Every structure is written in C-alpha cells, then in structure tokens.
Chain A
C-alpha cells in the first residue's frame, strides 16, 4: 500500500469517527443556541439512549425498528429533562445551570450502571460487514453507514429549521426569547422541543458509536471531549461549524494517532485538548462562530 493510499485510508477512518463527534457536537450546539448553556450531560443522555436501543434489540426487536423507537424515546426524554431538571433553574446564573448539568451527568451515568451494570455489552453492528474498494482505499460499509446517517440527520435538521414554521419559531426563540414571548410564542414549549431535538441527535451519535466502542456507562465520556473540541472549533453557535469541526477533529485524531509516534493510540485523547487550547488562543469564536457575542 502506497503512502498516499495509506493516508487516504486514515482520512476515511477519521471521517467515520468524525461523523459521530459531529452529531454529538450538533446536539451541544443546539442546546447552546437555545439556552446559552453547555450541556455537560449531553453525552450521558446519548449513552442512556443507546442502552434503550440495546435493550430493545436484546429483547428481540430488529435494529432498524429499534432505532426509530429509541429516537422517539430520546426525544421525549430530552423534553422531560428540560421540563424537570432545567426549567427550574432557567434564568439562574450560568454557573448554577452548568452545575445542574454536571449533576445530571453524574446521575445519568450512575443510573445506567445501576440498571444495566458496568460490564461491557456488545452492541449489534447495524451495517453489513465488508467494504468497498476505492482504488486501494478500503471504505467499510459501517463507515459509509455512519457518514450517511449523520448526513441524513443534518439534512433533516436543515429542512426543519429553514423550511417549516416550527423551525422558524425555534430560531426566533434561540435568537431572542423575550421578543419571541411578546409575539405570543410559548417559549417554554419551544425550549422543550429544542432539548428533545438535541437528545435525539445525541442519541444518533451514541447508537452509531456503540458498536465500535462497546456499550458501557462511561462510553460517551471520551466522545464528549471530542465533541467539545468540535463545537469549540466550529463555534458554539454554529450547527454547520459543529459538523465541520467534528469531521476535522476526527481526521486530526486519526492522523495523529497513526503518524505521530510520540502520541500513538493511547495519547490521542490529548488531541481535543490541544485543539481547544489552540482555538481559544487563535480564534476564540471558532471557525463559524460570531465574535464575542455576549448573551445578556
């Protein structure tokens, strides 16, 4: 295998994991745009959704039926989380809200351990084995599948936000909740929708990554770090940025792990740290974010 095909091979794999980071980053960005907060429990909520999918499949449901059911459950779960956990501290100082999401992180993580134990579970691979060969570069069906699913999710979100009236209302709330209220929009309900949507998008990332990482309560911890790096790179206000950032982080991680001997597979998790620090030093608002917009 030539050096170039080898490089391309790594890039393809990087895009595969990048797509997963992108979808969790997208969930983070959605919440951030709606409520101005960073939801530290996003990864854990995705993990919980993945367990739901696992439970459904384990009880005999075919995967492609279990998936929509899981997404529906996640949507409802996200709305509930907003209503029960976040709404009471809505409007409180940022610090309070963040600590609540950290509390939720700890709780959900432990809850999954309580229900499903901390032992690793095998998650079914929804995509066929094998690969296609693109002039020497092996592209697994699973990689293609992951990228395809994430692309579909992005497309649906774009349609929702740009071409439906509920999407318009959601954007209005994200932009200026106070004026939205004055226009008669029930902001509380829209925020619930936003959380439900974010939980659904996050669930996609969990379900996609579970066959690769194996399912256990701490599965999403690492993914969350990469998603943070992706969102920071793309800009916490930009859904497009989340996707681009996710793909970039995925490729950067894979290439670093493969080609930089000092880093290697074990220290790859340093890549998001470096990316976050570099972005903060060079372009704090991220690639697609707006410069220093203060949320009042």
Chain B
C-alpha cells in the first residue's frame, strides 16, 4: 500500500496502459447526440476521473461503457469489445457500474444487496464450496471497508442514509470482483464529510484490490485527489486530458472548465 499522497500520478506505472481503451466513442439518446467521439485510455489499476459541467455527457459516457446506452466506436476492456453488449453481459465481463442515484435494492436487506452483487459467482452453475467461502470472505472484506454496513446487516437498504446507500452500492459492485469499477457522481446529494470518507474508501479499494476505476464527478477537487489521470469533458468532447496533478494545478483550466470553486478552494 502506497502512501496516501495527494499526487498519485507517478505512483503507479502500469504495464497495461490500454487496459480500457475508448476510441471514437459516439453515443446519445434517440436523436440527441451527446458524445461526439471520445478517445482515451485507462491503464490497469489506475483511477481515471472524468470531469466537466452538467450536461457535458459524463453520465452518458459511463452508461455507454456498461451497455446501458448504445454507442458507436470502440471500447475495449483488456482487448474485449464492450460496445454492443447488454449491461448484464458487461457485468459478466467484469464491469461493475454504480449508477447515479445509487440504485440499491431498497426492499432487500444490506446483506441481501451484497449477495445479489455476488450473484454471478454463486449462480446455479457455480455452486462450488470454495466460491461460496470466497463470497463470505468478500462480505467480510466489504464490511471492513464499510464498517457502518456491518452494524445493520438485516435492515432494508431503504432505511439507510444517502451516504450509506452509496457505500452499499459500491460494496455491491465490488462483490462482483470487477476488473473495472464505474462510479457515477458518487458525491451526489451527500454531505461533504461523507463524500470525503467515501472517496478515501475508493482510494483504498483501488490501492488494495488494484481495481481499475473510472469516476465521473462534478466535485473536481475530490476526484482529482484520488485520480491518476483525468479528462475534462465539455459538450460531448474531451477538451483536456492529462495526469490528475497537472489538471489540478492548471489554474486556467480550472477556471474555464471546472468553475471558480476549484480555484477558491485551492486558495482557501
């Protein structure tokens, strides 16, 4: 485990720079084209932050990666084409998407939520004792990451607070043992303190599990803190890409694309 520095750009040099490779990605809803051709790569084990204003197409991009929105172009994960697959197929290929607004199963208890996340590993064709033991071990691991969940195993997810639901959603995604974790606006609607806690957990997960993460955020400051690489999306195009630190330090960029808030926060 590396030191929790704010600059992680140099921390991890991956042997697989094109673990996730997006090229010429177009996507949209009906006639509205949202993405106008994106190209970027994420190296294995890295955290990639996608920043940009509301309506830039960040969420659409994540959805195109996991099959919730149809896209054109090419998206490969470890060499396997992802486009043209349904979300359930994408999940089978190791893509875990935590949707905006969390998407927990509110009628199910916390433990049941997590078990649904492990569904692909315990399905009818995989009843191995070893796999079950592994799932139980994973449950423990998730509870270690999110101690708050451990206290309420039998409570329905609907009774959790927003932050706890977000944690549960991430926990559920991790139960998939994903090779790619997609986080859509994890800070949405959460108190700043909770958000910070959440991002620290994501950082820990990334460092300990070596899970590749793509996180879409409006809160640029937080996202850049845990990211290795970052891309700024504006009106469906990537207008800026680079190491997270460089993006953070570029005051002009922050002013133009990320809003003044970043600058003032840095100042303060």
| A residues lining the B interface (CB < 8 Å) | 165-166, 168-169, 171-172, 174-176, 178-187
Contacts and interface: CB of A to CB of B under 8 A. Distances in A.
A165 B120 contact: no
B77 to A, nearest CB: 15
Contacts of A184: 88, 91-92, 119-120, 176
Given A181-B87, A186-B88, A172 B99 contact: no
Interface stretch (B11-19, B105-113, B205-213): B105-113
Given A182-B97, A184-B88, A169 B119 contact: yes
Contacts of A174: 107
Contacts of A183: 91, 116-117, 119-120, 172, 176
Interface string B108-143: 100010011101101110000000000000000000
A290 B68 CA distance: 29
Given A168-B112, A172-B119, A183-B116, 7 more contacts: A165-B122, A171-B108, A175-B107, A181-B87, A182-B173, A183-B172, A184-B91
Given A165-B122, A171-B108, A181 B116 contact: no
B116 A180 contact: yes
B23 interface: no
A105 B251 CA distance: 66
B4 interface: no
Contacts of B105: 171-172, 175-176, 179-180
A166 B107 CA distance: 16
Contacts of B92: 184
B120 A182 contact: no
A182 B96 contact: yes
Given A183-B172, A185-B116, A185-B119, A178 B99 contact: yes
B49 interface: no
27 contacts: A165-B122, A166-B124, A168-B116, A169-B119, A171-B105, A171-B107, A171-B112, A174-B107, A175-B107, A176-B103, A176-B106, A178-B68, A178-B87, A178-B99, A179-B99, A179-B104, A180-B105, A182-B66, A182-B88, A182-B97, A182-B103, A183-B172, A184-B88, A184-B120, A185-B88, A185-B119, A187-B88
B173 to A, nearest CB: 8
B44 to A, nearest CB: 21
B76 interface: no
Interface residues of B, number: 29
Contact of B91 (A169, A172, A178, A182): A182
A172 to B, nearest CB: 4
Contacts of A187: 88
B106 A168 contact: no
A179 B172 CA distance: 10
Find the residue from B66, B96, B103, B172 having the highest chain A CB count within 10 A.
B103
Nearest to A174: B107
A165 B127 CA distance: 11
- Sorted nearest first, the 3 A-B pairs with minimum C-beta distance are A184-B91, A179-B103, A184-B120
Given A169-B116, A182-B97, A184-B120, A176 B88 contact: no
Nearest to A189: B88
A221 B35 CA distance: 52
A184 B125 CA distance: 14
Nearest to B102: A179
B91 A175 contact: no
A92 B115 CA distance: 31
A169 B120 CA distance: 10
A176 B173 CA distance: 15
Contact of B108 (A175, A181, A182): A175
Nearest to A187: B88
B82 to A, nearest CB: 14
A179 to B, nearest CB: 4
A165 B116 CA distance: 8
A144 B229 CA distance: 70
A168 B88 contact: no
B48 to A, nearest CB: 19
A182 B99 contact: yes
A178 B116 contact: no
Contacts of B221: none
B76 to A, nearest CB: 19
Find the residue from B86, B91, B106 having the highest chain A CB count within 10 A.
B91
B16 to A, nearest CB: 24
Nearest to B112: A168
Contacts of B108: 168, 171-172, 175
Nearest to B120: A184
Contacts of B97: 182
Contacts of B106: 175-176
A236 to B, nearest CB: 14
A172 B116 contact: yes
A269 B165 CA distance: 47
